[in-house]
Amino acid sequence: MEDQVCPRCRTTKYRNPSLKLMVNVCGHSLCESCVDLLFLKGSGSCPECNVPLRRSNFRVQLFEDPVVEKEVDIRKRVLKDYNKKEEDFTTLEEFNDYLEEIEEIIFNLTNGINTIETNKRIDQYKKENRDTIMKNKMKVGRTEIELEELLEIEKQMDEVRKMDQLREEVETKRKKMKIKEAMIDELMFSQGDAKDIVNTFQSNLEEEMKEQEKIPDRTTQFSTGIKFGKGSSEFAPYFKIEEGPLFTYTPPEFVYEGPDPPKWNHLRPYLMHVRQTTIDETAGGFDAAIGCLRALQEACAGLYFKNT
């Protein structure tokens, strides 16, 4: 780190502690002020390799070796298209060959070997596998969302834990104070031997500490925040269906409190006098007989009603 130096203006970290090296896709670093200066218009070419660059693509250099940065960039770009998974291949060997190919492409691009040819290869691959690429992109999106959720949960848990800790600390502090006060009171007013009193308090305190240690929080998750036994998140949650006794149909019993209305099978003459169902209504499952029977039933229901 000590010789972090901008290749253009030769400023070092020593001379300018706020020096920030930036890197672009070509893998050559520049300090922040040089980037500001050279890419005033938003785009320009790299002072070392003359590759046209855009200012928005500059980012802070994370690794000491800018070549690593370049490789990371290239890897990101290549993997966007080469996003097949092991499931997409029939044999492990094919998958391994595929991984090998990816590495080769990345190596070639990073080190500038056969760049044009390799780019051609990528283009061809893209053309051939457009469908799978699209499909896998969707999948990747989903796994990323899940991952983010996990991270979010972890963050929350962390906060809760921190709060718990804080509270506990305050609690123990208060307790200690109390005990101390109690001890001093005891020392002031009791007639016993001071040594004995101090000793009993000491032992009481130790016992309490031990007790507290005995009940640590039951951990329910790994340090990464993934819950024990949650299993792979790729499966939908599985609910166990509890099966009760089978349903047996008993026809409802009507209390008419009146004369018996006609039955289903005697409705034919009545249906002559009600509006026939239209095609639309039949499609909805409606039948003129239903309404007709209901009217007849309601006419009979409660006819003998007499409130006593």
Partner 1 sequence: MFPTSSQRKHWMFKNEDELQTLRVQANQNYIESYQDRLGPSAQPTLNAEDEKTLLKYYEHTMMRDLCKKFQPPMPKAVIGTAFNYFKRFYLNNSVMDYHPKEILVTCVYLACKVEEFNVSITQFVSNIKGDQKKAADIIINNELLLMQQLNYHLTVHNPFRPIEGFLVDIKVRSRLANAEKLRSGIDELIEKLYLTDACLLYSPSQIALAAILHSASKNQENLDSYVTQTLLGGDPTRLTDLIEAVRKIRIMSKPSDVFQPNRDLIKALEKKLDACRNEENNPDSQIYKERMNELLEDPDERPSARKFAKARRSMGGDKMTGVSAIDPNLSP
Q: Which residues bind partner 1 (CB under 8 A)?
A: 254-259, 261, 269-270, 272-274, 292, 294-308
Sheet of 29-31, strand order: 29-31, 21-23, 59-60
- Nearest distance in Å: CB 293, partner 1: 9
Q: Are 131 and 81 in contact (CB under 8 A)?
A: no
- Nearest distance in Å: CB 276, partner 1: 14
- Nearest distance in Å: CB 287, partner 1: 15
Q: Of 98 and 270, which has the nearer Cβ to partner 1?
A: 270
DSSP state of 227: B
- Nearest distance in Å: CB 303, partner 1: 5
Q: Of 46 and 271, which has the nearer Cβ to partner 1?
A: 271
Q: Of 225 and 291, which has the nearer Cβ to partner 1?
A: 291
Q: How far is CA 111 from the centre of its chain?
A: 37
Exposure b/e, 78-114, CB count within 10 A at least 16 = b: beebbbbeeeeeeeeeebeeeeeebeebbebbbeeee
First to last CA, the chain: 102
- Nearest distance in Å: CB 308, partner 1: 7
Q: Which of 99, 87, 101, 96 is nearest to 136 (CA)?
A: 87
Q: Of 183 and 300, which has the nearer Cβ to partner 1?
A: 300
Q: Of 46 and 274, which has the nearer Cβ to partner 1?
A: 274
Q: Are 286 and 277 in contact (CB under 8 A)?
A: yes
- Nearest distance in Å: CB 299, partner 1: 3
Helices (H), the chain: 32-38, 66-81, 92-111, 115-128, 130-189, 194-214, 268-271, 279-283, 288-300
Report d(CA 70, CA 28) in Å as an integer. Answer: 8
- Nearest distance in Å: CB 254, partner 1: 6
Q: Of 7 and 258, which has the nearer Cβ to partner 1?
A: 258
Q: Of 27 and 261, which has the nearer Cβ to partner 1?
A: 261
Report d(CA 232, CA 115) in Å as an integer. Answer: 40
